[in-house]
Homo-oligomer: A and B are copies of this chain.
Amino acid sequence: MSSAIPEPVTKLAEAFSRLPGVGPKTASRLTYFLLRAPEDYSLSLAAALTDLKALTRFCSVCFNITVDDPCPICISRERDADTIAVIEEPLDLMALERTGIYKGRYHVLHGAISPVSGIGPDDLKIRELVARVENGDTREVIIATNPGMEGDATAMYLQRELAGTGVVVTRLARGLPTGGDLEYVDSVTLMQALEGRSQLA
């Protein structure tokens, strides 16, 4: 059977199948799609892959991915310099930007504390955050780690580390997601929605 499939095809399929969520069948399908698509497309994808790491780096201030260092958000005069949202991943930054209401700056931890995966505070950009708060004029740190065990552990650790700096430390609200159905909401979320209930009148 192996002789029936030329090596350039198996090689690309193997490379694709190492991507998260791409199994061997999807990898073959993508490869055969590209075989029929114009060559330009494979080449532009190849160029984009080569440029990805060659042209990007981490911002030395907030550790987001950037071409220029410091990144556009860190040097923007239109963003509040005194508010920092602490997030786990660069993708979380995009989620917050999509809301259109956050005008502060960011700090990307590049992960969350996870004893199971062997990730401790020193593997994250926590020391850099504390230094940034100590040496700057930050007024508020909004902890925007994921609402789960690892994000909670990280938030608790950050809260303790930032305690001596005099900065206001807040965390994103927990409760019912918009569009959700009370009947299907898990009990932990419902519990948190009860605890965080607000008075209407």
Q: Give the interface of A toward B (CB within 8 A).
A: 1, 3-9, 11-12, 14-16, 18-21, 26, 28-36, 39, 41-56, 64-67, 71-73, 76, 89-91, 93-94, 97-98, 100, 110
Quick one: copies of this chain in the complex? 2
Q: How far is the CA of A49 from the CA of B19 in the complex (A)?
A: 14
Closest 7 CB pairs of A and B: A46-B49, A12-B48, A46-B46, A15-B45, A1-B97, A8-B55, A6-B67
Q: How far is the CA of A29 from the CA of B89 in the complex (A)?
A: 11
Whether B32 lies near A15 (C-beta < 8 A) is no
Q: CB-nearest residue of chain B relative to A47?
A: B46
Most buried by B among A4, A20, A33, A91: A4
CB distance from A67 to the nearest CB of B (A): 4
Whether A3 lies near B33 (C-beta < 8 A) is no
Whether B43 lies near A49 (C-beta < 8 A) is yes
The interface residues of chain B lying within 8 Å CB-to-CB of A4 are 64, 72-73, 93-94, 97
CB distance from A42 to the nearest CB of B (A): 5
Partner of A21, one of B20, B26, B65, B73: B26
